[in-house]
Structure formats: C-alpha cells, structure tokens
Structure 1
Amino acid sequence: MEVKQLRNRLLQLLPQDQVFTDELSRLVKGTDAGLYRLIPKAVVRVNSEDEVIRLLEFCRTENMPVTFKAAGTSLSGQTISDSILMEAGNGFEFSTITDKGATATFGCALTGAAANRILIRYKRKLGPKPASINSAKIGGIIANNASGSSYGIRYNSYNTIRSMRIIFADGSLLDTADKESCRAFIADHPQLIAEIEQLHKETVNNEAIREKITSKFQLKNTCGYGVNSLIDFSDPIQIIQHLMIGSEGTLGFVSQATFETVHDAPLKATAMIYFSNLHDVSNTIIPLRSCQVSAAELMDRNALRAVEDQEGMPEELRSLPEGAAALLIDTSADDEGTLLAQMAEIEEKLAHIDTLTPIRFTTDKHLYNLYWNVRNGLFTSAAATRPPRTASIIEDIAFRAESLGDALTDVRELLVRTGYGNAVMWGHLLDGNVHFTVFPDINVPEEVEKYAVFMQELCELVAVKHNGSLKAEHGTGRNMAPFVEKEWGGEVYGLMKRIKKAFDPENILNPGVLINDDHEIFIKNLKRIPEANPIIDKCIECGFCEVSCPSKDLTLTPRQRIIAYRHLSEQAVSGNKKKDPVQEQLRNISYPMEETCATDGLCGIACPVGIDTGKLIKELRWQQNNRLANRVADTIADNMAGMTSLLRRLLPIPHYIGKSVGYRTMESVTKGLYRLGDGAFPLWTRHTPSGSKKIKRNIFPATNPDAPMVVYFPACITRAMGGPSSGYEEKEDIPQKMLSVLKKAGYAVIIPEGKDDLCCGMAFSSKGFRKQAQKKENELNEALLKASRNGELPIVCDMSPCLLHMRETLDKRLRLYDQVEFIHDFLLDRLQFTLQPISIAIHTTCSSTKMHLEEKLRAVASRCAEKVIIPENINCCGWAGDRGFFYPELNNSALAPLRQGIRDATEGYSNSRTCEIGLSINSGISYKSMIYLVDKASSGKS
C-alpha cells in the first residue's frame, strides 16, 4: 500500500494529529537506541485502548505488520519497523495507587522515574530499575523484562507484576485482574488456550526441557520468550500474562500493569571496594547473596580509567594497578541499628577475600553520591571518548556465580583478541550480569564483518562454554535473534516458535524480532553514523534526552533533531540525491527543527554523553541570521536603555485597556492580531507584565555603617517588564521587591553604573547573534568587576536564566548568585519569617536545574508557606526567552500537565519573570517571582 493511500486509510481510524506519514516524521520517529535503521511507512500515536484495537484490526485485515514503541530506549532493535510504527501516547500516562502504595497500576506510557516519584511518598518503588529508568516507559520495561542494579531476578517485572490489560493481534482485550474478562477470553479463544495448555503439559512432562528452563532462569535471562512461565504456572491466563513479559511486542500490547511495589528504605550506606583482579571481585557474589544488599556494582580497570580524571573523582582511582577491579556495594534500612548490623554482616562475610584496601562503609551523603557518580559516569565517559563515526553498542550477558570469574576473564581476552581491548566492562554482580561496550565503525564493511565475527565467538563463549545468558536484561531484538537457538537448543526454540504462532498466526506483531531464521539479520539494516557536527557527533541516539524536552509532544525532540541533521548532512556529502544545500533544507523544516526548540540545555543534563542539542540550534540560528537581522540586533544592543525605557512606557497600556473593556475582550483582540500577523506580532495576555519603574539611584545605603554590602544587578527583563500583571495583589515591580528584602536584611545595596544599558547577552546568544552577545557580556563584566571591587562583594541577579549565562561567560572572580540562592545562603538568618497560611506551587526553571537550586528553592518556599507543592512531570516551561510570545503552542504543550499538577495551590512562585508568564497562563493561578513571597513572609530582625 502506498504511503498516501495508507495515510488516507489511517485517517479514517484516528485523528489527523496522531498520524505521521511525512518523510521527516517517519525518519526521526522510526529511530530507537539500537544500531539498526528501518523507515516506517507510517507512525501512529495512540491514546486509548479503543484506538489500539482499531489499528490492530486494520493491520490484521490488511496484513500489515505493526511494531509498538514506548520511549525507544531499546538497545537491540526491538522498536523499529518498515511498516507501521505505533507510539504509546499521553493517554497512557496514568496511575492508580492502592494498598497504601503496596500495589500500583501504571499506564504503559508513564516513565519508570515518574512512577517512582509517585511512589516515593509511600516509601515504595518499582522493582525493576534499568539504567534508562528516567526515560524508559512502563510498556518498554515490561516488554523487555528490564531489571537493572537491584537484585533483578527477585524484583524484575516477571516477579512483581500482579495483573495487566492486554490487547492481542486480533483486537481482543484481556484484563487478567477481571474474572469475567478472563472467562470471556477463554471462551472466545479456544485454540490459543488449548495450545497454551498443551505447551505447559509438554514442558512439565519433559524432564530434560523442564530442568534446562529451570536452570537457565536461575540467571537473568531475556533471550527468547519467558518459557519459565510454562512451568511456573498451570493456569493459562497466568501463563499468557507472564509470557507477555519480555516478549518485546511480538505477542500483544500491554496497555497497563499492576505491580507489587518494593519497600524503599530511607537510610543508605555504601562502600567502594578495590580488588586486584576480576577473579577476586567475582568471589564476593555468593557471600553477598546471603546479605541485605540493595546493589553490588562491578567495574573493571578500563571502566575506572574512563572516569578517573574527571573532576571530583576519588584520588585512589589513579593509583590502582593494571587489571584491578572495583565493587560498589549499597545497603539500606529503616533504622540506624539495622543499617549498622547489615554493614557489619557484609564486612564479616567478605573478610576472607583479598582486597587492595580495607572495606569501609559510609553514610556520608557526599561520599555516597561520589561513589555512585563513579558508577553512573562509566558509560558516559566511555561513549564520549569513542572514535568518530563509530556506533556505541552495549552488550549484556550473565553467568553463574561459580563460573563468573573464569567467564569474565575469557570475555576480556576475547575483547582484546578481536580488537575491542578498550571496551569498558561493568555490571550487576548479584545477578552475575555484566555489560560492556564496543565501538565498531558500522559505516565500513570490514568493521561490520569484524563485529559479526566477534558476536559469533561471544555467543559460543557465553552460551556454550559457560552456559550463560546471551541477553540478561536488554532483550533479544534483532541483535540476538539469530543466536536464540544456540543458547536454548532446538527443542526449546521450537516451543518458542509455537508460542509466537499461537498468539500471532498472521505474524503481524513486530515480525523478525526475537524469532528470526535469518542468521545475518544482526548485521543488516545498520544505521550509518556520519560526522555531521562536533556538537552532536557523540550522540548514540538513546533518547534519554527526550523526556525533559518541552517540544517533545509538539514537534521534535533533541534526539530527533540530531537524527534529522545527520540525515541532511549525510545526503549533502554523499550526493546520492539532487537536494538543496543543508542550510536550504534546514529552512524547509525550520519550524520543527529550530523555531520550536527552547535551547534550554536540559537535554544536556539527561544525555549520557553530555550533548546540549540547543547549542546546535543556536549555531544554526547564527548561520541563518542575515545582514538585516544583524543590523537590528546591533541597534538593540547599542540602545538598550532606550529599548527598556520604551517597553516600560508601552507595557502598562494594554492593561489599562483590559481593565476598562475587560481582559477577556482585550485578549480576543490581541489573539486576532497575533493570528493576523502570523506570528509577526507577539501574543499579549493578561499575564504579560506591566512595565517597571525606572531605578534612579545606584546606591541604597543601610542604616548600620557596618552593614554587609551586595551588588544587585536587575536584569534588562526586570528593568523593563518586571511589573505586576493580572492576578497580582502587589503594585511594586521585582526590583522594588528585591530592594525591600535586602533592606529588611540590613544590606547596603550597590547597583552597577550604567545599569540602563547593561544586559547579560543571553537574549542575543540564544538567537545566534554572537557578536552582539559578546559585546553585552563584555560591558556587563566590566561594570560588575568595578561595582563588586573585582569580585570582593557578592552579586545577586533577579533572573535565573540571566544569572546562569553570566556564570558561563563572565570573569570567574565574580561571585554570582541567583535571587533564590542569595536568599537561601545569606538572608534566611537575617530575616524573621512568618509562615503564611497558604498552599503554593513552585517551579524550578531550566537554569535553576542546571545550577542545582531545586532544594534551595524548596527550602526558601518552605520558610514562607505552610504547604509547598512541586507539580509532577513538569520540566522546562517552554517559554524560552521570548518564544512564548511568538510560539505560545510550545509553552502550552510543555505545561500541559501543570493545571492538574498544582492541586490545591492558590499561588505560584519561581525565579524568572518570563517563565512566570507561561506558568500563569497554563496553571490558572498567578505565578510571581519568589522575591514577592519572601517579602510578604519576612520582616527584619531587630
């Protein structure tokens, strides 16, 4: 079926905004974290079970394969398709907590991290804890039977899921928690039930098969189907439910699941232990299994070397001998006595094993986080230093405790012998589960063949020599499908093929994944990794960046922008198609690619290799700025005082009109002007600020001659538009409030000379005007050095985005503080606070997140208000400087969950005046600068 015809058919089933058939969407949405590339004919986003059923019935009727995708963090090629790709949409982001958190039901599109944030108030968490939990969604965690650093066999999805809702290839729905649904399903599917019962009977009655399955699943094992369900259960419904776990979307679609959650003890301790070799560290696995251990993370010498030169790493890493290894042990408890007893037991059980240093546990939060930073930075550092054009492939194997030392030695020797000696090895010791990285250049046929030989030898070593698991927790996918029979043998593999046939007789559900008779499928349809731009060349397309992106539900995510840019760059280099130059093509997709990117940098925090896609977008803006745009930017930069003065005079006018004719009428007119101008005019709303008053003085002395001094830099935004808007009780602007609080605290205040012309340069930088940004940065730098006596005095700024930019660009001697940070660090002890009887919501801006101010914001708010709410699933607000005025849909999309998230809050507070506009629009309450709350709740100490 042609793409155009397919689109028309799909539009009969689903709304237009849920069907994607354009070339860009099919390319970028059809990519996952694996090393394969297939382009779907259509991508369909579903938001309800009814939509899933309609789509599956269509695919079955038309004999069109369909693949399910949640977050696309899969590493083995599970979530790509050359047919129809079905995305789980926001309609599946729901949760229901029962039994005081002991059980919880989550929709398949909710991330694991979001689920755990909901559970934290009950001191509970999900059992599965994959490294991708911040991005991985419940559907993917179930589909791959993901586990992670917790004791995976005990707490994986297979052992913690209690019920689920499943939609099968024929469109039928089964709710395993509903007896009537189960009865009806059994009656309507006699052939499937009969085959399940027959498979169970054959497996249980065949001693050799039964023992093999039992033995194999004593390890973490996601290679092939979970055939352990055939012997663990006799009820066909329970067998079906557990076969779904780890089936990678080849048997049906799990729309929701109910988990038995795991207790999350609040007190934690950790120890970093060093060993001479991998054998010695492997000897700890058996004694540790008899202790109360939350995690035991193995790291080889290459892994430690990858992070040893990073800032803040333990000094001892550099002095470890060649061949050394480390073990990070974590234990937790509800009370101090129990925690101490657990630490002592672990030390006693490991006393007979040789270590390079004594075993010492710590409960110090700094050391605890330091040790985990070593572990968490391994993959990041290794992937960031890989050669250009190479793929980052993470393999995932498991061995029995008694053979772990020999097996790891063999794996290391294989890596060295096959040319991957720089591979970093780490793993979850309690499960004998080890990961390692290889970086083949899959653009070159010789390198692909080298990788193929390595994989064949690896599978022989793991599955045959050491009887291990070829895939412990990353799923089978296309990457390991040709080797499933090698691990399991012909008889069990035959059972797996029968399972697939029973559930999906037409083979429309994710064909080629998990069961595949093509022995070379693992080296076909490989992604090309071109050198496109140094900013993004290290990207491994894992998708960790996507969850925090404000445009993820509107246009593109950071991963998708990188994929698009790579694709255009490769086309330009290869010359395979007669296309316009890259810049021209980028202009053709400027709305999704550039115009709706917030360039907030949160993607860089989430990215395993630290890529800030916003930097690429700023570079593209710089390249596309023409002479006229630069002249306008020059004019604004050279006349900042005039521009802020003009805004101060203009901004009150629409508020005067709005109060006269009604804000609703006024907003109707301004929306009309916005639409008429097609974005040329900024969108005004009642929450757009009024103008600030001109600051006429530079010195505000304190009454005490010995008072501390501070330099206050009011940002150009707050000097121009820092005034109140609709919903404000106060009439004072932000600078007035800041001066009020500083006066209460007994500070003498200095405002830099020439303040009206000063700007941090961020607004210019974000639009790609580099020259103008640097000019303003230099001017501000000189003024602040003079005002602060070359950095002797602290400097406070009232806009967190500006403050972050100042920290990144100005003289390092300057002691720069955001308003919230300065209040927290300097003013809390100098003010008398009266707790206000109000419920408030607070928002941590992107810049505050990057400066790690979340806890300080919460602490300041908690000194002022009785109830402080932090809305869940809110990251960047999407206002993005001035984007909210011209692209309000970005702000609306980013803050879609906010209105529900504020719960009973009646006021909102943050530390960026522009962000507060969008927060007010999308919450239904008025958001203000935190300085308003502090001023209201505080008084000076006598």
Structure 2
Amino acid sequence: MTVSMPLPAPFLTAVASVIPDERRFDDPLSTLAFGTDASFYRLIPKLVVRVESEQEVVALLRLAGNHQVPVTFRAAGTSLSGQAISDSLLIVLGERWNSREVRDQGRQIRLQPGVIGAHANSVLLPFQRKIGPDPASINACKIGGIVANNASGMCCGTAQNTYHTLAGIRLVLADGSVLDSEDPQSIAAFETSHAELLGQLAELGRQTRANTPLADRIRHKYRLKNTTGLSLNALIDFDQPLDILSHLMVGSEGTLGFISSVTYNTVPDFPHKASALLVFPDVQSCCQAVTVLKPQPVSAVELLDRRSLHSVENQPGMPAWVKDLSAGACALLIESRAASQSLLHEQLVLIMASIADFALEKCVEFSEDPLVYNQLWKIRKDTFPAVGAVRQTGTTVIIEDVTFPIEQLAQGVNRLIELFERHGYDEAIIFGHALEGNLHFVFTQGFDDPAQVARYEAFMQDVAQLVAVEFGGSLKAEHGTGRNMAPFVELEWGSDAYQLMWQIKRLLDPQGILNPDVVLSEDPQIHLKNLKPLPAADEIVDKCIECGFCEPVCPSQGLTLSPRQRIVIWRDIQAKKRAGTDTSALERDYRYQGIDTCAATGLCAQRCPVGINTGDLVRKLRAQQAKSPRAATWMADHFHTTVSAARAMLYLASGARATLGAPLLARTSAALTRASRGRVPQWTAAMPEPARRMRLPNPPSDSRPRVVYLEACVSRAMGPAASDGEQTSLIDKTRMLLEKAGYQVVFPAGLDNLCCGQPFASKGYPDQAERKKQELIAALLEASRGGVDPVYCDTSPCTLSLLQEGADPRLDVYDPVRFIREHLLQKLDFTPQQAPIAVHVTCSTQHLGEAEGLIDIVRRCTTEVVIPEGIHCCAFAGDKGFTTPELNAHALRNLKDAVQYCGEGISTSRTCEIGLSQHGGIDYHGLVYLVDRVTRPRMSR
C-alpha cells in the first residue's frame, strides 16, 4: 500500500473552523471504516469529513486548493472500480442531501446527490414514471454516484442513462465556484466569472467536431454502452459550452467537480409486465436471437451462460431442469412492459413470432404471474451472489463490465470463455444486458501473493486487448473507469482522444486535486496497487464482499458503524492479532461502535447478496464477552421473579414521575443513564406503566374454536403509558378481539415463568436462551393439545424467535398479522376510519414475511396509511432504547416529521412502540387496537 504525506497542519486548522468536531473523523477506526467501498481497492483517508451543505463543500474545495490537498467525494460507496476511496481528504455526504422536487406530473424530478435511487423512484411511482438509470444497486446507491458514474442497468440501455436524460445540473468546480444550469442568474454570473473557461470548452468542441476521424470514433464508442474515460460525446453532441460542461460532469467520477443536484427527464414506468426464459443449445444461436430481439418491444434481455446457470442450480426454489441443461446451453431472460394489458399481449405475440425459427433446449413461456417472473429474475439476480458464496476465504469477488458490438456478441462470449480457461478461472460466469452487448463476468481472485497478482494482471491485459483492440468495444460499460481501468483508457480510446481527456481534466482541475488516479492516471500500475485484503475474521461474515447493500436498512448507519463497516473493522482486528499487533485500543472503540450500538435485528441479511446477518456476529461477540452467566441462569430459573422485578421498576418510575414531574425525571434519568453507561435505563414520557397482574383462568372448553394465547413477557410487564389515550391493556384488547371473532382463548400453564429466550440471546447467553425456548415450546404443545390449536403470540419478535432454528414442526405459531390475515378477516366486518394511521413494520414482521400483510390490514382499517420512508428499524431492539437511547433516537430522527398528520401509529412490538411514541410524538399501539376499533362480528349469511 502506498504511503502519502500527512495533511498540512494549517489545512486541518482551517477545516476545523468550517466543520464541527462531530463531523470530522481522523481516528484509526473511522478512517478504516470509511476507507472501504465496494471495490477491491483500499486507501485509508487522513481525514473524513461529513458535509451537510453546499457551502461546506465550497469552503473545503477552496481550502484544498490553497493547500494542495487531494479530495475525493463519496455518496453510498457502492462503486466497484475504486472511485470512492482516498488516502487524503474524503468528503462524505451527510443526510441533508436528500431533497426531491417532482415537476410537471412526474415528467421531471430534481434530486440532491444523497437521495437513494430507489427512493427517487418511489416518489415517482404515483405518476407511473421513474428515473432512467436502473443499476442493480439502486436500493443502496445514491444519485450522486449514479450521475458521477453514468450508471445504467438492465432496462436502461444507453438512451435512458443520466447523460441522455439530463435536464439540468448544479455543480461545484475545483475552485469552489457554483453553477446551476437551471438558474439564469447563476448562468449569467458564471459566464462572467468563467468566460475564459467556457471559451476554451467551446474551442475544444469545435476542434473535436472538425477532427472527423476523432469525432467518428467518439460516435462509435457511444453507440455502445461506455463509461471508460470522460464523456467526450459532450464535445460533439453540443456546441454551447454550458451544455458541454454539464454533460462532461456525467460519468466524471468526481474528477471534474462536485454534483450538488441534478434534474432528470423521467421515463415511463409501465405497470404491466411479463417475463420468459428461453434456453438455446449454444452461445451462437443465443446471441443471434439477441440481434433479432433488438428492434422488438422488449424492455430487458439478459444473457446467462451455462456456468452462471450452473452456479444457481442448487439454490432453493430453482427449477429442477436447470441441472439437466447441456454443457453449451445459453439462456435469455426476456421482459416486456406496456401501459395496458392488451398492448402487452400484442407485444408478446410479436416477440415470440420474431424468434419462432430458433431451436430451444428449454422454454419458460411469458408469464404475468408475479410468482413466475419473480422466480425467473431470481435466477438472474442470484448468479453474482452464488459465486461470492462459494469463494475461498481471503479471496475477493471481481465483477468486470465490458461491451462488445452486438453483432459480434457471440464471438465475444466465446473468446471470454477461452480466456477464463487459459488463466484458470474455472468458477467464472458470464451474464449481462444482451441488448447492448454489455456483459458482466464474475470471478474470484486472491491478492495475497505475487503469483496471484501476476495472474490477474496477465488476465486483464488479455481482456483489454480482446475487448478494446480486437473488437473495438468498451472496457467499462456501466461500472465506471475508477482506478481499475485507468491504465487502459488510452489503449481503448487512442492517443488523440486520451490527450483530449487530459486537456479537459487540466482545464477544470488545474491543480489535479480532484480524485487523482481515478479515470486518468499517469501510473500504468495503478490498477495493481492498494489491493484490498479480505482476511478471515469469522465464518459468519467471511463471505462478505463489502458491497454496502446492507447500509440503507441499518439503524446505526451514520451514528456509529454500518454492517459493512462492522465487518471491515473486525477483519482488521483479527488480521492484526494474527500479526502480533496490539489491538486493545481498536477493540475498546469497537465495543461501543461495533457491538453496543448494533440493534442485531438482522435486516442487513435481507439486503446482503450472500445472506450475511451481521447481528449474528455481534451476538457471538456479546456471548464471548458476557460476564454474568450465573446471573443469567438464575434469571432463567426464576423468570417470574424477573418479570415481577420489571413491574416493580415501572412502579418506581411511575412514582418518581408523580413526585418529580415528567420533565425533571426525564433529565435526571438521562444523566443517570449516561453516567452508568446504560446500566440504568432511561425514562421517557412514553415509558409504560406497570401491567397489572392478571389471573388467566382456562375455563372448560366449549364449542368455539380454541386459540392458545401466548402473552409475551413485555406484555406481562408493561401496560400503556400514563399519557397514552388508550388505557386498555394489550392482553384485554387481544382477548376482546379474539372472542369477538368467535374464539375461545386459552393460556399455557405457568405463563409467568415462560420466555421465548430472545432477551437472553440478545445479551450473549445462548444456552439460557435455548433452555427457555424449549420450556416454552413444551408448554405450548401441552396447551395446544399437541399442536391441534393455533398459538397466537402478541408480539412479532417473540413469534420470530419461536419460528427460527429449533422450532417444533407440530406447533402452528402466529404473529398478530398472520393470525388476523388468515383467521379473522373472514370473520369480521371492517368500517374504515378517516384519520390517517402511521405504520411501523418491525424487523421481525419483515423477517416473517408479513410486511405487506400488515399494510393490507391497516388499509382495511383506515382511508389513509402513512409509511415513513427510510425507517426500516426503530433500533429499540428489546432494551437498547433504554440502555443506548441514542441509537433509538438516531434511527427515528426523521419520524416526527413523517407522521405529524397522523393521530395514531400501529406496530406489533410493545418495546418498539415505546420508542416510536417518544420520537414520533403520537401514540403507537399494537395492531389489535386498531382492528378491534373498526370491526364488528360478521353476521352469518
């Protein structure tokens, strides 16, 4: 790894006057965490700054210019070619870069660079529009990166990428000057202050257009999907210098300036779609079919070679026939979309007629059934993770991204396969966006010895010659040049075009401080330097490819560490330990940043391409550090006493509130929580009153169907908050609803001593957790007559715990959502209320697959449902809201604004509802409260 000079002390002092302490990071843990993106490179920044305004960016760029400090901008860090890392100053977007402005009924949208791509599309969904780019990382990547890389995707092609759908841009140049192409005043000021710059850009355009061979080459290159080098097409597509400048910024990867906002011309998002999978006997006929399909009404045509199909053939849910395909088989996954179903059907007839003469080895015909087409797309989407999941620990997964002219696609595929065999990449697979000749190939690579690095270098040299020279294709179609392909830009483009790119770079960044060695580099070996190690850390996380897809759903992201960063730091700790390096300081910081502030709810696993639950690692580390196994055992043996103690604590808190008043108690409690490092729980106005102890008799059975009611321990301990407008206990409300629907409610014997084990597991005591879980299962089997009767659990986290590993197949355990959905909807009549209702889908509800079910039930209960954007997990996490309240506060920091017009919130976890009520400013209740309020028994007809 290269060694760079420390940042100048006067520069650091000046930065401190612009950016507050809490948004500047130079400690080893933070710089390592931020020094990781999705690529296979690593640079450790000297300073990381989280910016929250354009004014801060302007100030930092001016300071960087004055002190010759290189600067790199970072949005989500999902880039694959090394664009978002730095060994100098790394500027990271904060959360205030998230504004969206929809215009003209969705035909345009103005976005700041911090908006996640999928969120932009969710805003446009009511207008049946979307942004043109649709990268595979759209649920995690941000607009800043999408624009800076000119990202595209499966359905985007070239016509709908950022370059071709750009309506306006606001940018900050290296000298700190600002230009807004949609603001006449900004344009006028810039034309005065930067007349010389604009004149030079205009001249470069004239020279390029007059250079016929160069202009023709540029047109040829952008006939293909191409993100190698700078966007030279701006010089021949436009003659006005402001247009040239705006479009040069697209795909510039932070090397020409900072993108402060962008306005897109949106594209239709047709609601009707169908997909088919056609398997051809060989690559040649498959690629010939692509050329036939090109003019047809298809929205996507994805190619999968036999190796990629082989990589997923053993995945759960894969069709059995995938295993039986011939060795040379090659498949096309085809999708067509239309504004109406009748038009869609017409399109499908045209598509199938166009390829009727091709012999097929297997055909899954077009289907509009979501179950079918989702299964087909799962085959495509699982190919990359499948390679990642089976790679050897310590190796990385590399996904390259090339384009062949479509008429030479078959030759290109076969030649790539030859290169895999020549260089020994037996696991390599090929898939891609066939309509554009854009192929991705995935292989695993170790960088821990010179022989492996040499093999990679030889392979990439051969790939570059094959794609760029022999076929005249592009070495980067949509992943950006980065430092990965910077040494090959001249090979692909030729000397004239390459020198033109350097002219543009030096014109806009004369000091060379913007993202040096990215896109353009004078170091021919830059792609072989600063290669990222992926040392073994723990088998739970060793398959992590550090893509960052997990980060948007992590509640601690932005407060401490994200799942990706937790893994990065733990890998580094383990590697340092093996090398004999003292890690005590790093581990001390990691205790809070990595372990204490992890909610461990596992939503990261749902977004992870290889299914990693970082919470499992955190629970394992907590178990290793757990210091009170005897106390945990005593609590497990005397659980009824534990629940009683919790009630007693709530009685004390209630008395203190009555004596001191809520404001003083809240301040005092917060101070005690901080002083005790979380050992004393924090009291808030949303703190529950103690639940009154109840006798739960089981009367003799009658003719009504029975349901076993498992009241969770939190429901037994916690009643409504004193300030809550709803004072009926959860158990009373649940029993009322179940009996209204005609059920006889019974309770397991010894309920006060029963627990699903989750509180013990989350604290790092898995043995005690499993024992309590098995005790509960035995009691439920007895109460349900061996599993004859369904079991209703009133909180979704406990339900999930019972249904996870070690579940008894005889028990049919329901959370509130599934039980209401499957058993009560047909027994109750709903009269929707008018007041809007906020819905919080708990992590456990998501894991149970009941998110849509919950939303559907609430929609039956009210005419307006509010689902706050970006709040995936409340991070109360059992008791974290009491012991680490800053985590809960951070996760719900935007909740109050999102639910301000709602009179009530709904969830399915009592502890989650405490934090939601506190930070949302409205009362949150269990789902049963709402359902009971708006229903009456359905009369038999």
Query: Normalising by structure 2, what TM-score?
Result: 0.97
Report the more deviating stretch, 172-181 or 450-459: 172-181
Change (3 A) 1:665 1:574: closer
Taking the TM superposition and a 5 Å limit, the aligned residue runs for 1:564-713 are 564-575=569-580, 577=581, 579-580=582-583, 585-626=586-627, 629-655=628-654, 658=657, 662-699=661-698, 705-713=702-710
Equivalent residue runs for 1:502-901 within 5 Å: 502-575=507-580, 577=581, 579-580=582-583, 585-626=586-627, 629-655=628-654, 658=657, 662-699=661-698, 705-721=702-718, 723-808=719-804, 809-901=806-898
CA distance in 2, matches of 1:572, 1:359: 52
1:165-220 Cα shifts (integer Å, max 9, x gaps): 10000000000111221222122113321221121011100110011000110000
What is the DSSP-based 3-state SS (H/G/I as helix, E as strand, rest coil) of the residue aligned with 2:39? coil
Distance 2:709 2:277 in 1: 44
Moved more, 259-268 or 8-17: 8-17
Show the counterpart of 1:932: 929
Q: How does 1:133-148 map to 2 (within 5 A)?
A: 133-148=138-153
Trace 1:343-422 onto structure 2 (pairs within 5 A): 343-358=348-363, 360-422=365-427
Q: Any conservation in 2 of the 1:442–1:529 contact (CA below 8 Å)?
A: no
Q: Is the contact made by 2:74 and 2:92 (CA closer than 8 Å) also made in structure 1? A: yes
Rounded to whole Å, the distance in 2 between the matches of 1:907 and 1:698 is: 32
CA apart distance, 1:676: 4.2
Aligned ranges for residues 72-471 of structure 1 at < 5 Å? Answer: 72-358=77-363, 360-471=365-476
SS state of the match for residue 396, structure 1? strand
Contact kept in structure 1, 2:598 and 2:618, CA below 8 Å:
yes
Distance in structure 2 (CA, Å) of the matches to 1:281 and 1:848: 43
Asked whether the 8 Å contact 2:599–2:875 carries over to 1, the reply is: yes
Q: 1:737 to 1:175 in 2, by over 3 A?
A: same
User: Quick one: distance in 2 between partners of 1:673 and 1:414?
Assistant: 65
Provide the secondary structure at the position in 2 that maps to 1:427.
Answer: strand
Shift in alpha-carbon separation, 1:726–1:162, aligned structure 2, 3 A: farther
Letter in 2 for 1:474: H
- State the shift of 1:154 in Å: 0.9
Q: Per-residue deviation at 1:469?
A: 0.7
Describe the SS at the equivalent of 1:420: coil
Give the Å deviation of 1:378: 1.1
Q: Distance in 1 between matches of 2:310 and 2:908?
A: 40
Shift of 1:4: 9.1
Deviates more, 1:593-602 or 1:667-676: 667-676
Going from structure 1 to structure 2, the CA distance change for 1:773 and 1:377 (only over 3 Å counts) comes to same
Q: Which amino acid aligns with 1:872?
A: E
Q: Provide the secondary structure at the position in 2 that maps to 1:437.
A: strand
Extract unaligned runs of 5+ from structure 1: none
Q: Distance between the aligned counterparts of 1:381 and 1:138, measured in 2?
A: 28
Cα deviation per residue 1:358-381 (whole Å; 9 max; x = unaligned)?
A: 462111111111111111111111
| Partner SS state of residue 170, structure 2 | strand
3-state secondary structure, aligned to 1:752: coil
Deviations along 1:704-747, one digit per CA (max 9) or x if unpaired, are: x43222111111111111x1114422322111111111100111
Q: Distance in 1 between matches of 2:583 and 2:891?
A: 33
Give the residue type in structure 1 aligned to 2:91: M
Identify unmatched segments of 5+ residues in structure 2: none
Letter in 1 for 2:681: P
How far, CA to CA, are the matches of 2:617 and 2:363 in structure 1? 47
Q: 1:45: how far off?
A: 0.7
Q: Structure 1: which amino acid aligns with 2:704?
A: A
Aligned-pair CA distance for 1:539: 0.8
- CA-CA distance at 1:417 after TM superposition: 1.2
- The one-letter amino acid paired with 1:677 is S
Paired letter, 1:806: L
Identity of aligned residues (%): 44
| More deviation, 178-187/648-657 | 648-657
The one-letter code matched in structure 1 to 2:355 is L
Of 437-446 and 502-511, the range deviating more from structure 2: 437-446
Which of 902, 906, 909 is residue 906 of structure 2 equivalent to?
909
Preserved contact between residue 832 and residue 938 of structure 1 (Cα < 8 Å)? yes
Quick check: 351-360 or 397-406, which moved more?
Answer: 351-360
Pairwise CA RMSD: 1.5
Q: Deviations over 1:143-183 (max 9, x none)?
A: 10000101320110001111011000000000011122122
1:738 partner SS? helix
Structure 1 Cα separation of the partners of residues 223 and 433 of structure 2: 15
CA distance in structure 2 between the partners assigned to 1:738 and 1:547 by the alignment: 34
Per-residue deviation, 1:327: 1.1
1:217 is paired with a residue whose SS is helix
Tell me if the contact between 1:151 and 1:430 (Cα under 8 Å) persists in the aligned partners.
no
Moved more, 222-231 or 149-158: 149-158
Offset at residue 3 of structure 1 (A):
5.8
In structure 2, relative to structure 1, the CA distance for the partners of 1:839 and 1:58 (3 Å cut) is same
String of CA shifts for 1:787-823, please: whole Å, max 9, x gaps: 2233222111111111111111321222111111111
Name the counterpart of 2:75. Answer: 70
Q: Tell me the secondary structure at the aligned position of residue 836 of structure 1.
A: coil
Q: Is the Cα contact below 8 Å between 1:698 and 1:753 reproduced in 2? A: no
- Which residue of structure 1 aligns with residue 503 of structure 2? 498
Match of 2:54 in 1: 49
What is the alpha-carbon distance in structure 2 between the residues aligned to residue 313 and residue 149 of structure 1?
21
SS across alignment from 2:863: strand
Q: Residues 695 and 320 (structure 1 numbering): CA distance in 2 closer, same or farther, change over 3 Å?
A: farther
2:14 and 2:63 in contact (8 A); partners too: no
Aligned positions, number: 933
Distance 2:527 2:672 in 1: 56
TM value normalised by structure 1? 0.97
The letter for the 2-side match of 1:636 is: M
Q: Distance in 2 between matches of 1:365 and 1:744?
A: 35
The question of whether the paired residues in 1 share the 8 Å contact of 2:7 and 2:88 is answered with no
25 and 888 in structure 1: CA distance in 2 versus 1, 3 angstrom threshold: same
Deviation readout 1:840-876 (Å, 9 max, x if unpaired): 1000011111112111101111121221111111111
Partner Cα separation in structure 2 for residue 596 and residue 671 of structure 1:
17
Distance 1:288 1:468 in 2: 21
The answer to whether the 8 Å contact 2:689/2:722 transfers is no
